[in-house]
Structure 1
Amino acid sequence: MTSPGDVDWSEMCSDTMQLIFESLSCSDFHRARTVCSKWYSASKSCVAASWNRYPWLIRFPEKYSVSKPFNDLFTKLSDTNSCKLLDPREGKTYRKRCLGDILSESRCLASYGIWILMMNPSLDFYVLNVFTCERIDLPPLSLRGEVRFQRKDVGGLFLEHSWLDRETIINRYIETAVLWIDEKTKDFVVSWIYNAQYLFSYKKGDDSWWHLEGTKCLHMAYKDQKLCVYTSDHHIKILDYAGDTPVEIIEENPYLNHPFNYDPKPWEFIWKRRLAITTSGDVLIILSLKGFLEYEEKRLFYIFKMNLQGKEWERVDSLGNEILVFGDGITLAVASGKEEIRGGDIYFVPDDVWPPQANLQNSTGAFDLATTNIGWTLPLPYCYISSIRFRWIVPGIL
């Protein structure tokens, strides 16, 4: 008789592994695919990799307690001492005890799949798997050569703006970041923007952080080893990350000499600008606006795409079969036959839209670009908007 210790689970036949993967919850699915390389390969071809290709809501632990839940969904997420994941399609909540202490003092800057980019009060960056708790620490903040990212009262590149020091940097001056990671090889690229001016990036294998000089940056998106950067003068730069050092693409950049110009109507105010790259490689500019329609406040998202023939930016009213996670500029195609997950939805959290004044019923949700309706909402009391931290992640990005 074979003892359990003699069984080589990596040699399990593919049909059996597929049945196992298809029977697992999303959380167990992502744990199982890390068992070995064969299990990982089997998971790539499993249908389970497609039935979770939609956003989940992650709620980060807080130092401050919430006195009273606002509704049933808020009750599920109101334990401020733990990290929780909400699957909105299944209505299930997963509590991640292993992440509570790690994330309580840190801030999430970006996400990609089941990985998140975090920064702690010491200004240390790390990448974390929200299902397996695997952590990748990034090197200390230093730049190539003699110039260094410095904190208060130290020479070099001076990025401090007030006596608040780290608190100011964490909560105010680092608002935009991008993360990309290959889950199998753990190759990754991290990029972030400081005070809408300085762009820093780090790729696995680098010996230090890289700094883009001479360009003020507002937002960016990454795909296929290329970082598209939206500059303060409304141009799109493209940086190639295939080599040892990022190199700007000039001749093959169709957006280079065609800045994005949009004049808001008298009743419109641009709250945020974001870049996204579609699955086919098209660059999108997304505006989060505050609009007044018939004296009623309404949050709106506008999407613009360049007509490569006419070389003009045009507003589009559809994402086709793709959805968009506004905060991370991530788009992905939606499989057909899933009525709960509709193409054309824009997923947002409170910080993505104009700060609510009175109507708090749609603080977090999915905005239907075609109908302007908002679904999967998470209403929050006004006094908690600034303290409760949420982010959409997409477990199906493998």
Structure 2
Amino acid sequence: METLNYGRWSELPTDMLTYVLERLNFVDFKRSKLVCTNWYLCSKQTVRAKYGSPLLMLSLEEDGCVLYNPDEDRVYETTKRDFSGIRFLANSGNWFLVLDSRSNLYIIDVFSDKRIDLPPLESFKGGRFRLKQVGDKEFKKDLPNGIGTYCVTESCENLRGVLWVDEKKEEYIAVWCFDTFLAFCKNGQDYYREIPRDWELDCVSDMVLKGYMLYVLTTSDNILLLDLSGQDGFKDVSTSDKLPMSFIDFILWRNGDAATCDSNNIAVTTSGEILLVHSILYKATGKRIFRVYKTHPDDTNPVKVDSLGDEALLVDLGITVPADHTLGIEPNSIYFTRGDRFRNRDRNPNPIPSSPVDICVYNLTSKTSKCFPDLSNLKLKEARWFFPS
């Protein structure tokens, strides 16, 4: 019998390579596309078991990053890319909006070496505000106040953002904010456009970007709907913009156990309905519960939601997705890592400490949480649920 000798992995026969690719786990399958052109082309033709379970991107205190697959209970190293000194601001599929130690903003694919550099933060077209970088991590912000201008220094530690990427159309849109200051850019642009408002002292409490539609929840309980699809800026398409004042931070007491509502988040369902999500942490017991409300454009009184039906809510992304047991997506559940990503509590008159990383999947029916205690050994500084594309 003749012995076949294939000296290079890139020269494996298609049937043998397909056999190998079909048996790889999801993360390794993604990495296999980077081996060579032959592996990439073969992966496009390989039929694998359907996969869509959410993964976790974990940022470690020593500046490293790892991936965690809850279904396999396994931690993976990320690509060979250097993640030291960066912050993950947002994600869309495999793509993450990243801020580095010198305040450069860019988008990366965590399963490859693809990178899209975004304009410098101070690059603007039009608008009333001006930013000027005064250090690696600080900017001066000039604000008009009706008489002249006054200057505020912003730390990049306070920068927040959201991201949407359509890989098939090769389109993206990135939105970032400094409390009251909102700006965005789209593919093909080398500048940002400001999103001016009349409520300059009203800070951003949370944001969701779904396609070109931006949903903004503010600290004074306004909800704004902004269409960013136009060529010349944005269009405010809000229908009802005021929520009842009960949607502010509050303290609860149950059997002597003080509880803090440490996040007010906004989310959008698959059908386009807007949800408001309270995360409530009982300090003494460490127990976390959630309350979900549905808004209506003709009514300022949100209605409590007891079930998400056959959908799951990812607070980090601000969206719901169809549940599927075969994919590991639990129905009527909330995937959570931490609250108040956007709101800068240090500037509040009575600041509440930022919520810790608290990774869990909360079931609205049983009102119980599935936690991942083994991850606490990794000394996490940040975590994000995401759906690989």
Q: Distance in 2 between matches of 1:33 and 1:316?
A: 43
Measured against aligned partners, the alpha-carbon deviations of 1:124-178 in whole angstroms (never above 9, x if no partner) come to: 111111111311110111221385322349876269866xx7xxx233x22x321
Change over 3 Å in CA distance of 1:329–1:18 after alignment to 2 = farther
SS of the residue 2:207 aligns to: strand
**Could you list the runs of 5+ residues in structure 1 that have no partner in the other structure?**
64-79
TM-score using structure 1 length: 0.73
In the TM superposition, what is the alpha-carbon distance from 1:375 to its structure 2 partner?
1.1
In 2: Cα distance, 1:356 partner to 1:109 partner: 16
1:1-398 pair list within 5 angstroms: 22-31=22-31, 48=49, 50-51=50-51, 53-63=52-62, 82-99=64-81, 102-141=82-121, 142-145=123-126, 147-152=129-134, 157=142, 169-171=155-157, 173-174=158-159, 176-195=160-179, 197-214=180-197, 215=199, 216=202, 217-250=204-237, 253-254=238-239, 256-262=240-246, 264=250, 266-267=252-253, 269-291=260-282, 296-307=285-296, 312-337=301-326, 340-350=328-338, 363-378=358-373, 388-395=381-388, 398=389
SS at match of 1:103: coil
Q: Is this contact kept in 1: 2:312–2:322, CA < 8 A?
A: yes
* Contact 2:173 2:184 (8 Å CA) reproduced: yes
C-alpha contact 1:193 1:219 (8 A) present in aligned 2: no
More strand per residue: 1 or 2?
A: 2
- Aligned to 1:233, the other structure's residue is in SS state coil
**Pair 200,279 (structure 1): closer, same or farther in 2 beyond 3 Å:** same
Q: Is the 2:18–2:43 Cα contact (8 Å) retained in structure 1?
A: no
Q: Could you give the per-residue CA deviations for residues 21-41 of structure 1, whole angstroms, max 9, x where no partner exists? A: 654421244346686998787
Q: CA RMSD in A?
A: 3.9
Percent of aligned pairs sharing the same letter: 25
The aligned amino acid for 1:30 is: K
| d(CA) in 2 for partners of 1:379, 1:352 | 24
Tell whether the 8 Å contact from 2:224 to 2:241 is kept in structure 1 after alignment.
no
Provide the secondary structure at the position in 1 that maps to 2:267.
Answer: strand
Local SS of the residue matching 1:371:
coil
Q: 1:19 to 1:343 in 2, by over 3 A?
A: farther
Q: Which has the higher helix share?
A: 1
3-state SS in 2 of match to 1:30: helix
Distance 2:19 2:244 in 1: 49
**Amino acid across the alignment from 1:233:** S
Aligned to 1:27, the other structure's residue is in SS state helix
Give the count of matched residue pairs: 346
Q: Distance in 1 between matches of 2:268 and 2:67?
A: 26
Which segments of 5 or more consecutive residues in structure 2 lack a partner in the other structure? 1-5, 144-149, 254-258, 342-351
Specify the SS of the correspondent of 2:320: strand
> Partners in 2 of 1:59 and 1:371 — Cα distance?
27
